[in-house]
A and B are shown apart, each in its own frame.
Chain A
């Protein structure tokens, strides 16, 4: 539902909505706001979740960016080809009358 309405809702608002929703669920479970009488395990697992998620996302980001930097293609062949074509172009243009 929210994804379909991207043209009306800015990315910032989408994020705020998502974070608020998750935040509300977390608060309800971690602090037992609605007195749902959940077992202790739920509360103990929920409480550190935000930190866990933040750290996990941090690790994911570092790993992803690191991987992408490591596998960033170096186009040596393209540079060589360009150099050759530059020579060819200069000769041809000189023949055609270009004065540099």
Chain B
């Protein structure tokens, strides 16, 4: 027993939060998101680590990550780069492999998700010992910045369709700002086969199947990318395909 404690010093002090940051061409944003994470974790005294999973970004994201490692320490910033651009599910698996936290936080690295909500996620999780906590843009004072009417319509329409077909018990299925218990994320990722938006939806649906408890926290989503990357017909078609697949198989 004594030797076990020596190997896991963090467990003695309590919970540790591992943040998984899959990156591709986030040279500009990575330092900023790391700075914000350090700020909010530090202010609240939580144990944490940030795991950067870079898919060989041509813009030098990994090099910036290495600089951040020097600034903040190798115990706080972990690098788990990959050879090429692969899927999100495998990024999570890859990142979790060496994670030492008992909780995993997944989020976007492009500043659309703000670390200020993480303390709220943590508090919510403790409230009900939830297996996962999901950030929602559709409830409470959650919301979005930078979307025009068309985008909002597509978003709400798609969500409505999803609610009718899947009755998932969570208000925001395609959101990717979430806190999971590590073993819960591990068991879900190996079961999920979808890609893109649908992957995040499948995670929630499978969580319900396995009777995991889900808590929700309203978040604000600041989209600075929408102007450049419009939501096109292709993405809508693949979303509907994915939704129907989930409908028929879960």
Contacts and interface: CB of A to CB of B under 8 A. Distances in A.
B144 interface: yes
Contacts of B167: 11
Contacts of B68: 98
Interface stretch (A19-27, A34-42, A44-52, A69-77): A69-77
A60 to B, nearest CB: 10
A98 B60 CA distance: 14
B111 A82 contact: yes
Nearest to A57: B164
B155 to A, nearest CB: 8
Contact of B35 (A10, A74, A75, A93): A93
A13 B209 CA distance: 15
A82 B167 CA distance: 34
Contacts of A78: 114, 143, 145, 220, 222
A6 B35 contact: no
Interface string B115-144: 000000000000000000000001001111
Determine chain A's interface SS by DSSP, over half rule.
helix
- The winner among B64, B142, B156, B250 for most chain A CB atoms within 10 A is B156
A89 B32 contact: yes
B145 A79 contact: yes
Interface of A: 6-7, 10-12, 61, 64-65, 68-69, 72-76, 78-79, 82, 85-86, 89-90, 92-93, 96-100
Contacts of B166: 11
A11 B250 contact: yes
A74 B145 contact: yes
Given A72-B152, A82-B111, A89 B36 contact: yes
Interface string B150-178: 00110111011000111100000000000
A92 to B, nearest CB: 7
Across the A-B interface, give the 8 residue pairs with the lowest CB-CB distance, nearest first: A73-B143, A75-B220, A78-B220, A89-B35, A79-B145, A75-B145, A68-B156, A12-B248
A68 B136 CA distance: 14
B145 A10 contact: no
